[in-house]
Amino acid sequence: MPETIIIGSDHAGFDLKERVKEWLEERGFQVEDVGSPSPEQVDYPDFAHLVADAVGSGRRARGVVICGTGIGVSIAANRHAGVRAAVVCGEDTARLAREHNDANVLALGGRTLDPVLAERILDVWLKTPFAGGRHARRVAKIEPDGAKSAAR
């Protein structure tokens, strides 16, 4: 069964969301699109929370959130336990977000990224595994109670 990626955007990320959705489907992924359903003005936290709820609860392993810069949606998504959303602006940061931080939500900027670059970022992010090792200890410390358990 193909992996399902959950995706959401505000109005500023709508066009890139539609392109990313098509790119994922062409590569055999299932896509759960939680909106926005159009480029009409909406509030980015509403869609970031829907994606983050699904990833944080374990219902989905990975998600993509998109707003004008990726910053707002990443801030909202990172309020959820178990979510590690990374704003990524290039292939190197996509690789490092996965390798070092085990980022499970990718945040993209619909107004700041060229769509072709966004597709390359997505490709790297999806293909890069978490390196584990010393990074696992650090990632464990991200959750509020993780620093105490990692220190034991």
8 A C-beta contact, residue 118 and residue 108: yes
- Here the CATH number for the domain that contains residue 65 is 3.40.1400.10
Domain count within the chain? 1
Do the beta carbons of residue 121 and residue 108 sit within 8 Å? Answer: yes
Question: Domain range spanning residue 128?
Answer: 4-151
Q: Write out pLDDT tens, residues 20-34.
A: 999 999 999 999 999
Give the per-residue pLDDT at 146. Answer: 65
From the list 67, 80, 89, 135, the catalytic residue is 67
pTM of model > 0.85: yes
67 is catalytic: yes
